[in-house]
């Protein structure tokens, strides 16, 4: 059962009133048929890009060469794309040219999988020339047309197949799977960023155990990045991620858990992650492997350095078999209690110390010492008590 949002129906109506065919297509139809909330709505139309723009003054060119216009309506963006067929793929990544066509079926034929090649219009109903609905019912990911050809056109599709199987819990159909095995080397031509994005979506997906396809189908040998994950790492992650929260640095920490921090940095950089993700993933692994003492002083000290990652640290330790007892709960209690954990939360600041005659480096050292005093005993975080402790030391 497909019920379109009013805004989408409005966009289809406008195109129809101006004499054009228009259908919702791709991921949104697939998701509706699966009873899931679509992430975004894509429209395919017989209208040419200038005709689309004439229908919708609030629009801008996105991939005009590929026939895509973004229409802004009701505070949302909709991609409206002219029916097209793709020309020759000489680089295994994208078509050298595209040709606009008046045929919806031709447009659906260029799409990757049968479940992504279904169109819908409220009056015309479902248009499903490649029997995607049956594959959806059978939970199968199957290429539109000859799989070997489709993967040689665009090698990214192989990873998309694996990623969709993780997101939906589907199996990759046999011929499609075999074609991935045969064409695995084509992955070398895909850009690092696109590989990283697919791998990340897969590791964050509810059926992350489908990562196993990456090693089973031989894709891992052709990962186009320096310092790629190994087969063993992927297979281990496939099991461990089943019980893991879906956070990017955490899933990559699971993947690279057994590596040295320097090597983790290199792998994350090679995947072109932003600096914070690179640093935090490596940090997370390092902290998770260090001992965490059980007494309140050490727990406060641990939080003082690692409060931003403490949930992830305990989760990672649990995933790798450490029993933390009540440490996570006690850390949460320390934070809820508002215990001072950082120099900025001390009741004394640099200016107070200047006023009593300290200067330069001394001030930093004294504040660090005061923090240690307060981490041992939070009740000492008053201006009076802390200043007394300095005076006592300097006597
Ligand atoms: P998601 O939920 O990830 O957005 P989606 O199916 O909407 O899934 P998109 O990448 O948004 O995926 O692409 C929209 C549609 O465009 C797909 O459903 C598919 O029909 C088509 N498509 C996208 N990428 C490719 C590709 N590499 N080759 C062929 N068709 C593709
Ligand atoms: Mg989409």
State the CATH number of the domain containing residue 78. Answer: 3.30.460.10
Residue 85 CA: which ligand is closest?
Answer: 1
Residue 274 falls inside a structural domain: no
CA separation (Å) from 376 to 291, 332, 335, 380?
Answer: 18, 17, 15, 9
Task: Tell whether 209 is covered by a domain.
Answer: yes
**42 Cβ closer than 6 Å to some ligand 1 atom:** yes
- Ligand 1 binding pocket includes 267 (Cβ within 6 Å): no
DSSP state of 3: -
Ligand 1: residue of 24, 27, 150, 153 to mutate (most ligand atoms within 8 A of CB) is 27
Given a contact cutoff of 8 angstroms between Cβ atoms, the answer to whether 266 and 304 are in contact is: no
| 162 within a domain of the structure (yes/no) | yes
**Confidence class for position 393, pLDDT limits 50, 70, 90:** low
- Identify whether residues 31 and 155 lie together within a single domain: no
Q: Which ligand is nearest to the CA of 43?
A: 1
Q: Assess whether 42 and 92 both reside in one domain.
A: yes
At residue 324, the 3 state secondary structure works out as coil
* Nearest ligand, CA 40: 2
Residues 8 and 111 in one domain: yes
Q: Is the CB of 114 under 6 A from ligand 1?
A: no
For residue 156 and ligand 1, the question of a CB distance below 6 A is answered with yes
Q: Across residues 188-217, what is the average pLDDT?
A: 96
- Report CA(103)–ligand 1 centroid distance (Å): 19
Tell whether 60 is covered by a domain: yes
260, part of any domain: no
Q: Determine the atom of ligand 1 nearest the C-alpha atom of 28.
A: 7
Q: Which atom of ligand 1 is nearest to the CA of 26?
A: 18
**pLDDT of 179 over the 70 cut:** yes
State the pLDDT confidence band at 182, using cuts at 50, 70 and 90. very high
Give yes or no for residue 300 CB within 6 A of ligand 1.
no
**Could you tell me if the CB of 38 is within 6 A of ligand 1?**
no
Give yes or no for a contact between 376 and 395, defined as CB atoms under 8 angstroms apart.
no
Say yes or no: CB of residue 122 within 6 Å of ligand 1. Answer: no
**175 shares its domain with 218:** yes
Does any ligand 1 atom lie closer than 6 A to the CB of residue 163?
no
The closest residue, in CA terms, to atom 30 on ligand 1 is: 111
Q: Is a pLDDT exceeding 60 seen at residue 395?
A: no
Residue 275 belongs to some domain of the structure: no
Atom of ligand 1 nearest to the CA of 108: 20
Please say if the pLDDT value at position 93 is more than 90. no
β-sheet bridge partners, residue 119: 25, 127
**CA–CA gap between residue 236 and residue 226 (Å, rounded):** 20
Both 224 and 158 in one domain: the answer is: yes
Output the CA 363–ligand 1 centroid distance in Å: 58
Are 84 and 109 contained in the same domain? yes
238 and 332 together in one domain: no
Q: Which helix (H) or strand (E) holds 140?
A: strand 140-141
What does the alpha-carbon distance between residue 187 and residue 116 come to, in Å, rounded to a whole number? 21
Ligand 1 site, residue 86, Cβ cutoff 6 A: no
**pLDDT tens-digit map of 271-323:** 999 999 999 999 999 999 999 998 999 999 999 999 999 999 999 999 999 88
Which tokens hold the place of 266? 């290199």
38 CA distance to ligand 2 middle (Å): 8
Instruction: Domain count for the chain, please give it.
Output: 4
Residue 4 structural domain: 1-131
Predicted confidence band of residue 55 (pLDDT cuts 50, 70, 90): very high
| Predicted confidence band of residue 67 (pLDDT cuts 50, 70, 90) | confident
Tens of pLDDT, residue by residue over 136-150, are 999 999 999 999 999
Sign of the CA dihedral with 321 first, then 325, 326, and 327 last? negative
Domain-located, residue 281: no
DSSP code, position 307: G
What is this structure's pTM? 0.92
Q: Return the residue whose CA atom lies nearest to atom 3 of ligand 1.
A: 27
What pLDDT is stored for residue 394 in this prediction?
A: 59
**Residue 171's CATH number:** 1.10.3090.10
Percent of the chain's residues with pLDDT above 90? 85
* Structure confidence at residue 200 (pLDDT): 97
Inform me whether the pLDDT recorded for 374 exceeds 90.
yes
63 pLDDT higher than 90: no
């Amino acid at each position: 059962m497909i019920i379109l949002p009013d805004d989408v129906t409005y966009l289809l109506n406008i195109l129809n009133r101006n004499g054009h065919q228009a259908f919702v297509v791709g991921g949104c139809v697939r998701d509706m048929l699966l009873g899931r909330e679509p992430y975004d709505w894509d429209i395919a139309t017989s209208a040419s890009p200038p005709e689309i723009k004439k229908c919708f003054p609030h629009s801008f060119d996105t991939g005009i060469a590929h026939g895509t216009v973004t229409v802004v309506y009701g505070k949302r963006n909709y991609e409206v794309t002219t029916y097209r067929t793709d020309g020759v793929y000489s680089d295994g990544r994208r078509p050298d040219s595209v040709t606009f066509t008046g045929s919806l079926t031709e447009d659906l034929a260029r799409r990757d999988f049968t479940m992504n090649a279904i169109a819908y219009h409220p009056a015309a109903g479902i248009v499903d020339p490649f029997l995607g609905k049956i594959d959806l019912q059978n939970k199968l990911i199957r290429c539109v047309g000859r799989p070997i050809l489709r993967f040689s056109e665009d090698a990214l599709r192989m990873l998309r197949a694996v990623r969709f199987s993780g997101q939906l819990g589907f199996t990759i159909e046999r011929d499609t799977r075999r074609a991935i095995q045969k064409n695995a080397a084509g992955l070398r031509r895909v850009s690092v960023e696109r590989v990283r994005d697919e791998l990340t979506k897969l590791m964050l997906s509810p059926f992350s155990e489908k990562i196993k396809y990456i090693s089973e189908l031989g894709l891992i040998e052709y990962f186009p990045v320096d310092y790629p994950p190994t087969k063993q790492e992927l297979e281990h992650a496939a099991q461990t991620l089943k019980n893991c929260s879906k956070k990017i640095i955490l899933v990559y920490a699971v993947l690279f858990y057994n590596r040295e921090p320097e090597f983790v940095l290199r792998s994350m950089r090679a995947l072109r992650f932003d600096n914070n993700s690179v640093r935090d993933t490596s940090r997370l692994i390092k902290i998770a492997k260090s001992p965490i003492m059980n007494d309140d002083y050490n727990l406060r000290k641990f939080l003082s350095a690692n409060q931003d990652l403490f949930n992830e640290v305990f989760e990672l330790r649990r995933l790798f078999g450490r029993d933390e007892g009540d440490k996570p709960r006690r850390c949460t209690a320390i934070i809820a209690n508002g215990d001072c954990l950082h120099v900025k939360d001390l009741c004394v600041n640099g200016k107070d110390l200047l006023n009593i005659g300290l200067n330069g480096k001394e001030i930093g050292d004294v504040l660090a010492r005061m923090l240690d005093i307060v981490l041992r005993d939070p009740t000492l975080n008053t201006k009076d008590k802390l200043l007394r402790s300095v005076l006592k030391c300097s006597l």
